[in-house]
A and B are shown apart, each in its own frame.
Chain A
Amino acid sequence: MIYAQSPLAVGLFITFVLFVLGLSFFLARRTTSSADYYAAGGQIHWFVNGIAFAGDYLSAASFLGICGMIATAGYDGFLYSIGYLAGWVVALFLVAEPMKRLGKFTFADALDSKFNSKGIQLTAAISTLLVSVFYLIPQMVGAGVLVQPLLGMPHYVGVLIVGIVVTIIVATAGMASTTYVQFMKGGMLLVFSTVLVVGVLGRGLSTSPDQGGKKAYHEFKTLAAQTGTDGSLQLSDSTYAVAADWKTGDLGKAGFVRLTKGGVDSVWKLKETGGGYALSETLFAKEFPNGTKLYNGLPKEQGAFFPVGAVKELRIDGKEVAQTGPLGPIGFLSSVKNSTVTLWGKTIVKESDGLTTVYFQKPTSGAKILRPGLKFKVDNATGTQKFNFMSLMLALFCGTAALPHILIRYYTVPSQAAARKSTIVAIAAIGFFYVLTLFMGLGAMTNGVINLNDENMSAPLLALSFGVVLFSIISSLAFATVLGTVSGLIVAASGAVAHDLMDNFLGMKMTDRNKVLAGKVAAIVVGCIAIYLGIIFEGMNVSFLVGWAFAVAASANLPAIMMILFWKKTTAQGVATSIVVGMVSAMGLILLSPDMWALYGKLPANAPISFNSPALVSVPLSFLSLVVVSLLTRKAAVPVAVEAA
């Protein structure tokens, strides 16, 4: 086991949950009108709202996913940080103040403010629901993933805990309680991530990271070998036995060899040298047809699947050293750049008795780690690979300012200036956090803490290397991260159902009190759906679903917002069409993509399209459809100016 359950983490999480539930019940007494429920009365201070933006936005994908990706793939993980932050520029310069000026409770309000169109009300509500649900699923799955190693409970318990707590938070005081939960979570995330980074810099870099003297790093062995006259493999260490079919077996064909010592299997990577072979030790997990799994030839509890991540050659001022001592942030990055770090490649080998996943060492220069290209193919890339990269960066840039749970936060402040200022606080807080992700990720990469079976746990495991207290705080924060983001999404989704569909689209006449009740019932229903989806999507790669949410939001929502604000010839039909075209094209392209083909159990090469990221097609298509339909329907359109309520 790489990590064990921490009672302190459980205690901190329960304390946090009890506190936010108490706060929610307290705020519920002040939540009497629909403006209170959906927009926290529009009276939240811009600084609180700005940090709450950070709490809303820094989801499990940001905290766990980006740190984990940087830890295993270097700079390519940091590309997400850059892209996500860049999206806030779109939000500040183009969207913040107009959203505050035009809307009331939901994203659909702002789109429909000039038109009073049933088409916009329906399509915008569906788009909000779709994006919110796609964003909810990975958060709920993430909750289940977290609860298993940290609390020792099954996946569905984590999903249930988060689902029930969040539904209570939202159903009691709506946006008011949600805002303060996010404010606390956002603030704590910034503080303790800073503490973690200070620890990483204080520890510096070492070729034998021992977690501050607590745990020695496993030294991965290398063996020499020759081929005998009978074709057998003769090792320099005769205590190992070699399988007879070492060259012709499934592992041999993939470039590996299985050795046995003391009845325990190990897998080694074969590399031809002048007249012989060099064998380097790997980590491997074997899954048998009956579901049994062995890690490095032993059950998981034996702890043979070592944590990894170390500098191989450390150079300071051109000289090779064993450790650096404390470093400043710039010195830390320079030292990584000038050194060589052992990264890990992954190969899955199908054998007759099961599936073997082999992780092998890949010494990589720091300069290569600190530039794009280890995860996303950019060197000597094909046109499709370049297209994929650009499309991803476009989706990150455009997606943020189109996420419904982010947009509705503009309604919680009292003025347009407050909307602007809260966005600037968000940029400062989120930008600062994303800078920290590079240090946390590289810290995990070089401190011998990575669990190659689950890179998402890199940040909590890095914290564990500094002691159980920091680990417990970071782990409970990871839960709080899910709580904060899910609560924002449920408010957005309940607003789409109760306010956009029931009140506006269907024209159901409700008193203000009943509007609040409808919102609360909608929140409970959405919460139940989220719990259900979180359970049935167990094991689904969460990054797929986050990618869906960003791509759909960027394609369906952003063109509509931008054109309403900046093109006077925009018509209601054009807006509704662009939302539908953006939604359908983004979803359709994702469903036909090679990555999805692999999920269907088919060959990715046989997928109808060759790219995975749809934004570079679906965003322009959505813009184009809005322009064409608006021009075609221009004469018939009679915009209705609606005064502020």
Chain B
Amino acid sequence: MGHGPAVKLGEDKASGYKAKLGMYLFVLYTLAYVVFVGISVLQPSLMESAFMGQTLAVAYGMGLIIFAFVLAIIYNRFCSRAEQRLNN
């Protein structure tokens, strides 16, 4: 059988912590995405209302893109710390 990584990987004792953190952040982002879709479907006129000088749709949509990046940075920071703490 040809399974397993293409390169040798050492044991990652932080994998459990990272998986749990990833799940929490995934749920958080999914909630924000579901609310966005929910407003678009159930109260679409709300998306036209002004929010910080833009339509709510633009502010929310841009916010979702930026939020993904911010969560990604936070995730990486905590994961890197956990790897240093548990694998060294």
The B1-59 residues at the A interface (CB cut-off 8 A) are: 1-9, 12, 15, 18-19, 22-23, 25-26, 29-30, 33, 36-37, 40-41, 44-45, 47-48, 50, 53-58
Cross-chain contact B6 with A105 (CB below 8 angstroms): yes
Closest Cβ of chain A to B26, distance in Å, is: 4
Interchain CA distance A565-B76 in the complex, whole Å = 20
A417 located at the interface, meaning its Cβ lies under 8 Å from any Cβ of chain B in the complex: yes
Chain A residues contacting B69 (CB-CB under 8 Å) are: 424, 427-428, 431
Q: Is the CB of B6 within 8 A of A337?
A: no
A415 touches B15 (CB 8 A): no
Interface size class of A (residues with CB under 8 A): 35 or more
| Cβ A371 vs Cβ B7 within 8 A | no
B83 touches A417 (CB 8 A): yes
Number of interface residues of B (CB under 8 A): 50
The answer to whether B1 and A416 have CB atoms under 8 Å apart is: no
Bound form: Cα–Cα A371–B41 in Å: 12
A89 to B23, CA, bound (A): 11
Q: Which residues of A contact B54 (CB under 8 A)?
A: 330, 333-334, 337, 370
A75, A104, A423: the one contacting B57 at CB < 8 Å is A75
Report the minimum CB–CB distance from B8 to chain A (whole Å): 7
Is A203 engaged at the interface, CB distance under 8 Å to the other chain? no
A86 touches B33 (CB 8 A): yes
User: Does any Cβ of B come within 8 Å of A103's Cβ?
Assistant: yes
Contact (Cβ within 8 A) A371 B68 = no
> Which of A7-15, A148-156, A386-394 is near enough to bind chain B?
A386-394
Q: Which of A389, A565, A644 contacts B9 (CB 8 A)?
A: A644
Contact indicator B15/A101 (Cβ below 8 Å) = yes
Given contacts A42-B7, A101-B15, A431-B69, contact A92 B44 (CB under 8 A): no
Q: Are B7 and A43 in contact (CB under 8 A)?
A: yes
- In the bound complex, residues from chain B placing their C-beta under 8 Å from that of A105 are 2, 6
B3–A103 touching, CB < 8 Å: yes
Verify A371–B29 contact, CB threshold 8 A.
no
The verdict on A94 contacting chain B, using a C-beta distance below 8 Å, is yes
Query: Are A371 and B57 in contact, CB atoms less than 8 angstroms apart?
Result: yes
A-chain residues with CB within 8 Å of residue B30 when the two chains form the complex = 89, 397
A571 to B40, CA, bound (A): 38
Q: Is the CB of A378 within 8 A of B40?
A: yes
Which of A333, A337, A370 is most buried by chain B, counting CB atoms within 10 A of its CB? Answer: A370
A108 smallest CB distance to B (angstroms): 9
The answer to whether A330 touches B6, judged by C-beta atoms less than 8 angstroms apart, is no
Q: Is the CB of A86 within 8 A of B55?
A: no
Q: Does the CB pair A75–B58 fall under 8 Å? A: yes
Q: Do the beta carbons of A370 and B2 come within 8 Å of each other?
A: no
Per the 8 Å Cβ criterion, residues 427-468 of A in contact with B are 427-428, 431, 434-435, 438
A49 within 8 A of B: no
- Which of A109-117, A212-220, A261-269 lies on the face that meets chain B? A109-117
**Distance between A641 CB and nearest chain B CB, rounded to angstroms:** 11
Known: A75-B58, A101-B9. A82 touches B65 (CB 8 A): yes
Report which of B12, B22, B65 forms a contact with A431, defined as CB distance below 8 A.
B65
Which of the residues A97, A102, A381, A566 comes within 8 Å of B41, measured between beta carbons? Answer: A381
The proximity string for A residues 107-146 relative to B, scoring 1 for CB distances below 8 Å and 0 otherwise, is 0010011001000000000000000000000000000000
Asked if A370 and B55 make an inter-chain contact with CB atoms under 8 angstroms apart, the answer reads yes
**Does A421 lie within 8 Å of B76, measured CB to CB?**
yes
- Set of chain A residues within 8 Å of B3, measured between Cβ atoms: 102-104, 109, 112-113, 116, 642, 645
CB distance from B76 to the nearest CB of A (A): 5
Shortest C-beta distance, B4 to chain A (Å), equals 4
Check A644 against B64 for contact (C-beta < 8 Å): no
Partner of B65, one of A75, A330, A435: A435
Other than the given A39-B7, A372-B47, A389-B40, 9 more pairs (CB < 8 A) read A82-B65, A116-B3, A337-B58, A367-B48, A370-B58, A420-B79, A431-B68, A504-B1, A642-B4
Chain A residues with CB under 8 Å of chain B are 35, 38-39, 41-43, 75, 78-79, 81-82, 85-86, 88-90, 92-94, 97-98, 100-105, 109, 112-113, 116, 330, 333-334, 337, 367-368, 370-373, 378-379, 381, 386, 389-390, 393, 397, 411, 414-417, 420-421, 423-424, 427-428, 431, 434-435, 438, 499, 503-504, 565-566, 642-645
16 contacts between A and B (CB under 8 A): A42-B6, A42-B7, A82-B65, A86-B68, A102-B5, A103-B3, A104-B4, A105-B6, A371-B47, A371-B56, A379-B44, A414-B7, A415-B9, A416-B15, A431-B69, A644-B8
